[in-house]
Amino acid sequence: MTPPTVDSGIHIAGAGVDAVDVKRFRAVLSRHPELSRRLFTDEELAYANRAGDPAQRLAARFAAKEAVAKAMGTGIWKLHFANVEVTCRPGHAPTVALHGNAQYIARTLGVKGWRLSITHTDLVAVAFALAVS
């Protein structure tokens, strides 16, 4: 029997994945507290700070930013970290909001949307991003 197919009209423009060691990330943020402001938006910091261990959520968002950059084929160093924002509404999957040069690069590549999956444990944070055109 042939499985049913669905033509969703979605084209994958790129994919990226990243993993972050939570303990190591926590240590870096502890040694360089100013780094949080360069890497994350106010909303991302507020979301993380509502958790018992903000480092887990921040590590997951950092992994997501890296995964998005990989999906665009640029690498994160061509983007400003805060221009790749992970947003999260209660009861919904996380998504990506791009700003500044990240938004420009995505438009140039024909990216119309994102699919994002993130997860974390006490040890590791992982993110997978699909750029959809």
CATH at 82: 3.90.470.20
Top-confidence residue, 8 or 1 = 8
Contact residues for 31 (Cβ-Cβ < 8 A; gap 6+): none
Residues 9-60 pLDDT 10s: 778 999 999 999 999 999 999 999 999 999 999 999 999 999 988 999 999 9
Q: pLDDT band for 3, please (50, 70, 90 cuts).
A: low
Confidence of residue 1 (pLDDT cuts 50, 70, 90): low
Position 74 in a domain: yes
Question: What predicted TM-score, i.e. pTM, was given to this entire model?
Answer: 0.90
Residue 73 gets which letter from DSSP? Answer: T
Structure token pair of residue 116: 């994002």
Residue 2 within any structural domain of the chain: no
> Is residue 125 within 8 Å of residue 55, measured between CB atoms?
no
d(CA 89, CA 121): 20
